[in-house]
Structure 1
Amino acid sequence: MSQTESSADQTGLDHIHRFVPATGSGLRPILALHGTGGDETDLLPLAEMLAPGAAVLSPRGKVSEGGMPRFFRRLSEGVFDEADVVAKVHALADFVEAARKTYDIEAPIALGFSNGANIAAAIMLLRPEVLAGGLLLRAMVPLQEKQETERAESLAGKPVLIASGAMDPIVPVDDPTRLAERFRACGADVTHEILPGGHGLGQSDLGLAKAFMEAHARIG
């Protein structure tokens, strides 16, 4: 898998990231967003497994929590710094739009795990035009107050899959359901599946995610 590894200095883009050019045609690119402690390499194998041949844009979160990269700050486990969430959403959304021009790619489908799923969810609520859909693995409600604007109506018809774990010790039990309801209120085509297991991913997640990408990753 050919990859371009870039820093802000090398490209003018403001996130360290990996870009994997497409090897197939007619596929939407994937925006791969890692969990806490991951980096821009973490989800590349998963993206390739779920959407073989698709281009992959994979940025590294710019926040460090005890040396672990994240996409936004949190005040404690499960309690987010919402002002920072909003600021980081706009910074990451601007990066994605700049990267689309640099790499000449279509609007991507987000593939996010944990913290990456949360920032993807927040982008869809605050900057819905940036993404073509979202595959959100172990997502929480990223913003407790409804801060999205009328632009969230542009989620109409966009596919969203939320996959949560029945015994997840990190994600509050009602959060994924509330997130799904919020997306539906914005017109998104939402599927929420509660799977066996905890915060880590299992075979059920992979099968569900693969089916989602097969259904929605093709352009047109």
Structure 2
Amino acid sequence: MSGPVAALPLSHRFHDGAPDAPVLLLLHGTGGGPGDLLGLGRELSPRSALLAPAGPVSEFGAARWFRRLAEGVFDFEDVVKQSRRLAGFIRAARYRYALDDRRLVAVGFSNGANIAAATLLLHPEALREAVLFSAMSPLPDPPDTDLAGTRALLANGRRDPMAPLDSSEGLVRELTARGAAVTTAWHPGGHTITPSGRTAARAWIAEGAGG
């Protein structure tokens, strides 16, 4: 099945794939939509089912995953609320599309990577693996949750003005301190998905199949 569906907690698109390939949960950046990362998903894991929801928050008409108070200043209460909403969507989608216990990997860019990181930290029962492009720490004081069995790949630019290096490094520390296995793929540039980042993500997703 493919196409737009709005019956679940978030409007989304779903494209079925091979049952032995991971399901990719595609989380767009600010101002994007469910179609933005479909091509990237196909590149990273060609046989995967693709689940691409739409960010539920509007910022002057631009779709986002949670509110912010200013550029780079998050509404942390809304981060918690919307992370819970995304976790509920994942559970509902598993039931709706008969995904059962299939491996699910989030692939997020920018604001989408930040909500994925928050969901890793807050709801590991719903999300255990994520590729984070241009992510930063989404919470000031994440709970001390046991993240053993959680995997994350962070692919960030060292000169990213929108995801500052100290915050991105802080996210790596937060995940690692809670037991997550974190791989980093730094690049020298800014707020973008680079060819080297895509290559690292393809390999990282493939490696997880043997875990």
The two structures have a TM-score, normalised by structure 2, of 0.94
| 8 Å Cα contact 2:185/2:197 also seen in 1 | no
Is this contact kept in 1: 2:29–2:64, CA < 8 A?
yes
Q: Say whether 1:205 aligns with 2:197.
A: yes
Would you say 1:17 and 2:12 are equivalent positions?
A: yes
Work out which of the residue numbers 39, 51, 70 in structure 2 matches 1:76: 70
Q: Give the drift of 1:28.
A: 1.5
Task: Verify: 1:43 aligned to 2:37, yes or no.
Answer: yes
Q: Deviations over 1:22-59 (max 9, x none)?
A: 1x241120110000010011011101110111111110
- In the other structure, the counterpart of 1:214 is 206
- What is the percent sequence identity of the aligned residues? 44
Q: Which residue of 1 aligns with 2:141?
A: 145
Asked whether the equivalents of residues 156 and 185 of structure 2 are also in contact (C-alpha less than 8 Å), the reply is: yes
Unaligned runs of 5+ in 1: none
Counterpart-to-counterpart distance in 2, 1:103 and 1:219: 24
Deviates more, 1:132-141 or 1:205-214: 205-214
Code of the aligned partner of 2:161: P
Q: Could you tell me how far apart the structure 2 residues matched to 1:25 and 1:124 are?
A: 23
Question: Which one of the candidate residues 46, 56, 66 is aligned to 1:62?
Answer: 56
* Cα deviation digits, residues 114-149 of structure 1 (max 9, x gap): 000000000011101111311000101000122x25
Q: How many residues align?
A: 209
1:111 aligned to 94, 99, 107, which one? Answer: 107
Gaps of 5+ in 2: none
**1:91 alignment counterpart:** 85
Cα distance in 2 for residues equivalent to 1:17 and 1:132: 21
Is 1:107–1:131's contact at 8 Å kept on the other side of the alignment?
no
**Quick one: which amino acid aligns to residue 92 of structure 1?**
L
- What is the RMSD of the two structures over their aligned residues, measured on CA atoms? 1.4
After TM superposition, what 4+ stretches of structure 1 lie above 4 angstroms from structure 2? none
Report the TM-score, using the length of structure 1 for normalisation: 0.91
SS in 1 for 2:165: coil
> SS in structure 2 opposite 1:57?
strand
Question: Is residue 124 of structure 1 aligned with residue 123 of structure 2?
Answer: no
Counterparts of 1:219 and 1:43, CA distance in 2: 25
Change (3 A) 1:132 1:219: farther
Measured after TM superposition, the shift of residue 219 of structure 1 is 7.1
Q: What is the alpha-carbon distance in structure 2 between the residues aligned to residue 4 and residue 100 of structure 1?
A: 17
